[in-house]
Amino acid sequence: MDAKTAKSEMTRTAIVGAALDLAAAEGLEAITLQAVASRIGLSKSGVFSRVGSREALQKAVIEEFGRRFLADVFVPAMQKPKGLARLDDIVQRWIVRMRDVETHTGCLYTAGAFELDDSEGELRELLLQEVTRWRAALRRSVLHAVEAGHLKADTDAEQLVSEISSMAMGLLHDARFLRDPRAAERAQNTWQRLLASYRR
């Protein structure tokens, strides 16, 4: 990669990062080329030349959030053996990320879902695909734990995924809205009770 291309990539990364920060603070609809340009000291046309339209930038933000989320929560857990060890590592990492990142910045998966739940269009569809992909990965991890004999044979994977997701949303609500400093600890306790009820 030559210097010019590398600089262009770095600029695009900065644009998407600034737009992600904006979305976390004010929502996906707050993203405009001008707002992002002002944040990083570029012209509006400079932002457009690197990311395209406002809609393209909004999509890039959703994809970048998904990439960061999976890199923190899912990818490292793949080092664990299939089964309960991996599932537990995923959920533990999710709780830690919620505590250390989303408590301060908000969660695009959660906030974006509420923001776009009554909307139609490509942006909603992309966010839905990202969330669905994440939940499918979580479901596969549950099924691996069942197949390994670590969870009860009659475990309803969809139900457990729903319960884990509800726990994560509750953590975010209590940490951000109630400002409960023990929100992550409570989520951890909830997860341990869930595990005890499903463990073989």
Find the helix packing angle between 157-176 and 183-198, rounded to 10°: 170
Distance CA 154, CA 100 (A): 34
Q: How much is the average pLDDT of 9-18? A: 89
Q: Is the pLDDT of residue 4 over 80?
A: no
Query: CA 200, CA 86: separation in Å to the nearest integer?
Result: 16
Q: How many CB atoms lie within 10 A of CB 99?
A: 19
More confidently predicted of 84 and 105:
84
Q: Which CATH architecture describes the domain 54-198?
A: Orthogonal Bundle (1.10)
According to the model, what pLDDT value does residue 60 have?
A: 94
Domain edges within the chain: 54-198
Nearest to 138 by CA among 86, 96, 97: 86
Residue-wise pLDDT for 32-76, tens only, equals: 999 999 998 988 998 898 898 999 999 999 999 999 999 999 999
CA distance 173 to 98: 10
pLDDT (0 to 100) of residue 106:
87
Rounded to whole angstroms, the Cα distance separating 198 from 152 reads 6
Residue 200 has pLDDT above 90, yes or no: no
8 pLDDT band, cuts 50/70/90, is: confident
Q: Residue 5: is its pLDDT beyond 70?
A: no
The three-point CA angle 98-102-106 to 5° equals: 140
Query: pLDDT by residue (tens digit) across 129-175?
Result: 999 999 999 999 999 999 999 999 999 999 999 999 999 999 999 99
What average pLDDT is seen over the chain?
Answer: 93
Residue 181's SS3 state is coil
d(CA 143, CA 194): 15
